Amino acid sequence: MTEQRSIFITGAASGIGRAVAVLFAERGWLVGAADRDAAGLAALAATASTIVPLTLDVANRDGVLAAFAEFGAQTGGTLDCLLSNAGIDAKGPFGDMAWQRVRQVVEVNLLGAMSVIHAALPLLRATPGSLCLSTASGSAIFGVGGMAAYSATKHGVRGLTEALSVELAGSGVRAADLLPGIIDTGMLTAADKAALPTEGMWRVMPAEAVAEAAWEAYHGDKVHWFIPPELAELDRQSTAAPEAVRDALIARAMI
Ligand SMILES: NC(=O)c1ccc[n+]([C@@H]2O[C@H](COP(=O)([O-])OP(=O)(O)OC[C@H]3O[C@@H](n4cnc5c(N)ncnc54)[C@H](O)[C@@H]3O)[C@@H](O)[C@H]2O)c1
């Protein structure tokens, strides 16, 4: 009998995090499901006895440390995979956004992600073949007008992933990120969905597609996982000709 693997997921109460929790639990993993939404976690934990609900706010350092201490005690001090995934969006022109909202997006999406990864490292380092996985975003390929603060945090997550993929190699921990385009979760309003294309890289994808990518990420060796995979082409274009990508986005916004 093989030893049970473990994954710790933030933002697990809904959307992408929930889909990842369900998939890994179905495939036999022990799941530390962390979120600030205690009711959502309780509903998730009711679906499988191997899902451990852990209420935390990623912006609260003490709560983050306590959650890892609690889960680590159940795994014997190991962790095969972290998915730092909790996030909030913030739409609207940057200059019109309340400063408090800008701060909050950074505190949850970037500082919160850093706090979670920092707290997970002792467990990851103690586990051969472990993966430090984060949910970045398609907005970390080329910043999205109307989501500037959000895009900045996701570029931060991507940069952190790349740096850690090098820095942690010596301790045997891999680092990777998921870059989802448009995913059908609570983050998407009905109006958003109605305005989106039905095909191409910006089509709406189910959260389960991101969960499958997380599974492949653990079993694979890539730094970036695009969902859908067509987004990799935008990534190549953004590197080769950022001005052309900028001009196309400006033209699209003016239609
Ligand atoms: N939905 C998309 O189109 C899309 C695209 C790219 C990236 N993402 C990213 O995917 C991740 C998951 O988002 P989702 O689409 O599943 O949205 P979601 O709103 O369904 O899920 C986000 C979860 O994070 C939790 N959360 C928020 N702030 C928290 C905090 N401070 N502490 C703990 N938990 C907190 C929420 O309670 C919620 O359960 C986010 O990082 C988001 O930026 C989403």
Average pLDDT, the chain: 97
CA of 84 to the centre of ligand 1 (A): 10
Distance (Å, rounded) from C-alpha 150 to C-alpha 7? 26
pTM, two decimal places: 0.98
Q: Tens digit of pLDDT for each residue in 69-92? A: 999 999 999 999 999 999 999 999
Ligand 1 close to Cβ of residue 57 (< 6 A): yes
CA of 244 to the centre of ligand 1 (A): 30
Q: Please indicate whether residue 150 is annotated as part of the active site.
A: yes
Tell me the C-alpha distance between 253 and 156, whole Å: 25
What is the number of domains present in the chain? 1
pLDDT value at 116 more than 80: yes
The pLDDT tens digits of the residues spanning 171-216 come to 999 999 999 999 999 988 888 888 889 899 999 999 999 999 999 9
Residue 56 lies in a domain: yes
Nearest in space to 229 (alpha carbons), one of 139, 138, 136? 138
Domain membership flag for residue 1: no
CATH code for position 82:
3.40.50.720
Residue 97: inside a domain: yes
Domain encompassing residue 237: 6-254
Q: How far is the CA of 200 from the centre of ligand 1 (A)?
A: 23
Asked if residue 191 is part of any domain, the answer here is yes
Q: Is the CB of 87 under 6 A from ligand 1?
A: yes
| C-beta of 158 in contact with ligand 1 (< 6 A) | no
Would you say the CB of residue 13 lies under 6 angstroms from ligand 1? yes
Whether residue 109 lies inside any domain: the answer is yes
> With contact defined as beta carbons under 8 Å apart, do 215 and 222 qualify?
no
Of the residues 24, 71, 150, 218, only one is catalytic, namely 150
